[in-house]
Amino acid sequence: MSEEYLESSETTLTSEKPEKEPEAELQDVIVREYPKTVLLYPMIIISLILAIAAMLVSLFILDPILQTTWLFTIGFIWFVLFFFNLLIVTFEFGKSVIVALALILVIIVLVVVLVLTQYGIGPLTGINPAALRL
C-alpha cells in the first residue's frame, strides 16, 4: 500500500499544468461607479473634528473676543473646505483644471495680501516690500 501511495503522490507532484493561451491570461477590468456622496464622507470627519475644536474653544477660552475669533476661524475653515468639496462633487475636473484653479487661487491670495499691506490693512501690515517703495 505504501508503494501505491508514493506512486500516486509522485504523479500529482510531477504532473504539469497545461499551458494557457495568451488571451486566457488577460483578466477583465471591472469599473464600478460610486455615488458622488462618497466624496462627502471625509467632510463628515472634518466636520466632527472642527465641531469638537469649537466646543473645546468655547469651554477653555474665556475671553469673549478671542473666543469669537477662534470660532470664526474654525467656521471659515469649515466653509472653505465645504465649498471646495461641493465644487469637486458638482463638476468633474481633470488634473490640469485642478492645477490651474490652485494657481489662480494662489495668485488671488498673493494679490490681496500685497494690496492690503499697501493700505495698512490686515495681519501683515508691518511688511513693506522693497519692490513697492517709490
pTM to 2 decimals? Answer: 0.53
pLDDT exceeds 90 at position 57 = yes
Q: pLDDT category, 4, cuts 50, 70, 90?
A: low
% of the chain residues with pLDDT over 90: 27
- Which of 19-23, 41-45, 62-66, 113-117 comes out lowest in average pLDDT? 19-23
Alpha helices in 1-134 (DSSP H): 2-14, 22-25, 41-60, 64-90, 95-118
How far is the C-alpha of 63 from the C-alpha of 82, rounded, in Å? 28
